[in-house]
Amino acid sequence: MIEVIHRGQKFKETMEAFQQKRADFVVQKIRSFDAETLYVFLKWIRSSGHKLDRITGMAV
């Protein structure tokens, strides 16, 4: 991933836009998972102590 360093006047807005693009990229990758990979991913999330903020829908 490309690193972004920005300390200008719109630092906060730039970082928020970057984080949104990063999240969109991750979502695209997760949506391409097959059922088995998605199951393993969700199992890993739960076992690591992390939580998903929300799941808006899932179809397998």
pLDDT digits 0-9 by tens, 4-37:
666 677 878 888 888 889 888 888 998 899 999 9
pTM of the model: 0.53
16-37 in b/e form (b: 16+ CB < 10 A) is eeeeeeeeeeeeeeeeeeeeee
Tens digit of pLDDT for each residue in 28-54? 998 899 999 998 988 888 888 777 666
At residue 37, the pLDDT reads 93
At residue 32, the pLDDT reads 92
Residue 58 has pLDDT above 60, yes or no: no
